[in-house]
Chains A and B, each alone.
Chain A
Amino acid sequence: MSSGAEITSQEYIKHHLTNLSVGEGFMTVHIDTLGWSVFLGLVFIMLFRSVAKKASTGVPGKLQCAVEMIVEFVDDSVKSTFHGKNPVIAPLALTIFVWVLLMNAMDWVPVDLIPRIFELFGVHYMKAVPTTDPNMTFALALGVFALIIYYSIKVKGIGGFIKELTTQPFGHWSLYPVNFILEMVTLLARPLSLALRLFGNLYAGELIFLLIATIGLFQLPVHFLWAAFHLLVIPLQAFIFMMLTILYLSLAHEDH
């Protein structure tokens, strides 16, 4: 439980959902989100890079086997959805999957453990699950969105892209503005749904963990159940984010 005995559960939850930040207004930077996400990203990069450096084509070691399993899983997912040739999509999907998975996995760490450790060093706020911060999920979604726009224009040309946005679903020229509005909604809904789905799922999960942490001794079995449930949620959300990224990018490559 939290530090002071006089703290109410509402204050407790609010305290745990506050980011460690510096700056004011838009210039605010969430140090904890940025720090943990970069740390976890480095864990991913270093681990995979160490395997990549020693990658043998012969009999692989155990670590190489594990890493190759993930890589092959991502490769299969990409190949089953995206049929063109693009050197970016597969590494992008791998980065998204493993990074999001690691960040989501921070949800399994007991909600008080990391904040308490940091409190010993005089740091009062610490939100350790980066994907419960919309800044994180929107950054990922906007990165993907930028690639969607980039490849749409690269494959179809700027004219082709505009044509795709205006000439369907209705073929008549007088309905082109309506088409444009519909297609814009579809286009913009993609990054929005990507970001909000991941954020919503993880934020809600974290919130329930915090609520469970306020109910006293009974929290132990309940916490266990909720954590077990997250065995599903955490990889599933990472997988969905990766799969939708691949799908959106393959749609961007499709020429009508």
Chain B
Amino acid sequence: MNLNMTLIGELIAFIVFVIFCMKYVWPPIIGAIEARQATIADGLAASDRAAKDLELAQEKATAQLKDAKAQAASIVEAAKKREAQIVEEAAVKAQAEKEKILASGHAEIETERNQAKEELRQQVAILAVTGAEKILERSIDAAAHSDILDKLVAEL
């Protein structure tokens, strides 16, 4: 082994190379690498977030669909109920109408009957007076005895 001035020369070359590498080579390259790593990490995080968002959106959509279905079902249910109600109500109304019509018919018949009765009474009264006149052979003062006749009529 012969160590000599070459060693000093190599040492100087070594120092120069290391300093140059430290100043002009290492920082830009490692900077570019780290910047790219950050970009990639960001991208991956964003895609992760997007995937999560998508999952969330899908879940939301499913929930909404379920809700909508339930709502539709409930609407149909309500409609059916309402239909039954309307039918029932119509039936009840019709029944009531029928009863009203019947009642009014009865009432009319009643008044007509009463009227007929009244007429009949009056005619019977007249008939009775005429009959009595004929029986007594004399004229009876209709005005003086009308209270008796009225009582008679009321008793009919």
Contact = CB atoms under 8 A, between A and B. Distances in A.
B4 interface: yes
Interface string B1-33: 111111111110111011011101111111111
A92 B20 CA distance: 10
A90 B1 contact: no
B31 A55 contact: yes
B3 A134 contact: yes
Interface stretch (A65-73, A153-161, A163-171, A232-240): A65-73
B36 interface: yes
Interface in A101-144: 130, 133-136, 138-140, 142-143
B39 interface: yes
A38 B36 CA distance: 33
A155 to B, nearest CB: 19
A60 B28 CA distance: 13
A37 B13 contact: yes
Interface in A83-103: 87-88, 90-92, 94-95, 99
Nearest to B39: A57
Contacts of A138: 3, 7
Number of chain B interface residues as a range: 20 to 34
Nearest to A25: B4
Number of chain A interface residues as a range: 35 or more
B90 interface: no
Contact of A48 (B13, B15, B21): B21
A100 to B, nearest CB: 11
Given A28-B4, A51-B29, A143-B18, 19 more contacts: A21-B6, A27-B4, A30-B4, A48-B29, A52-B24, A55-B29, A55-B31, A55-B32, A57-B32, A60-B32, A64-B32, A71-B30, A90-B26, A91-B21, A95-B17, A134-B2, A135-B3, A139-B14, A143-B15
Interface of B: 1-11, 13-15, 17-18, 20-22, 24-33, 35-36, 39
25 contacts: A27-B4, A27-B5, A28-B2, A28-B4, A28-B5, A33-B10, A41-B13, A45-B21, A48-B21, A48-B25, A52-B25, A52-B27, A52-B29, A57-B32, A57-B39, A67-B29, A91-B18, A92-B21, A99-B14, A135-B3, A135-B7, A139-B6, A139-B7, A139-B8, A140-B14
